[in-house]
Amino acid sequence: MSDLLSLAQAVAEAAYAPYSGFQVGCALETASGQIHSGCNVENASLGLTICAERSAIFRAVAEEGPGMKVVRLAVACLGNEFPPCGACRQVIAEFSLSGGATEVTFLRQGRPVTLTLAQLLPEAFSLP
C-alpha cells in the first residue's frame, strides 16, 4: 500500500457522508514535496457536496498558492473502490504536471492501480 493511499484511507474516517455513506479520502503530494489531504463533505442539498479530491486540492492551493502542482494523488473509499469522478479529474487537470503526467492511484479489487491523469482524462478541457 502506498504512503498516500494509507493517508487517504485514514482521512476518509473524517468524511461527512450521512447521505451516501461513502466515506472518501484523498492525499496528494505537490511539486514542493508537501503532502495535503481532504475528505468528502456532503450537504442536504446533495448538489453542494464536495468530493475528497477537490477538498484536498483546494486545501493545497490555500496552503501553497496558485502555482501549486500535483505530482501524485491517491483516493480511497472505506468499503468501496473507485477512481476519481469526472468532475475531480477536470480539477486535477487544472493543477497537473505538464502533459497530464500527474499520477493518480486508487484501489481495484484490493490492489493499487496507478494511471496518469492523461490516461484518466484524455482531451481534458482547457482554455486556449
Q: At how many degrees (to 10) do helices 52-64 and 86-94 cross?
A: 20
Place of cell 486540492: 57
Give the residue with the Cβ less far from ligand THU, 9 or 40.
40
Give the x-and-dash track for 14-33 against ligand THU (CB under 6 A): ---x--x-x-x---------
Which DSSP state fits 2?
A: -
**Residue 53 is a catalytic residue:** yes
Q: What does the chain come to in residues?
A: 128
**51, 56, 60, 91: which one contacts ligand THU (CB under 6 A)?**
51
- Shortest Å, Cβ 2 to ligand THU: 17
- Please check whether residue 103 is in contact with residue 116, taking contact to mean a CB–CB distance below 8 angstroms: yes
Torsions phi, psi for 36 (to 5 deg): -130, 155
Helices of type H across the chain:
3-12, 52-64, 86-94, 117-120
Catalytic residue among 29, 42, 53, 103: 53
Neighbours of 48 (CB within 10 A): 9
Give the x-and-dash track for 54-93 against ligand THU (CB under 6 A): ------------------------------xx--x-----
- Shortest Å, Cβ 11 to ligand THU: 11
Q: Which residues are near ligand THU by CB under 6 A?
A: 17, 20, 22, 24, 40, 42, 49, 51-53, 84-85, 88
Catalytic residues: 53
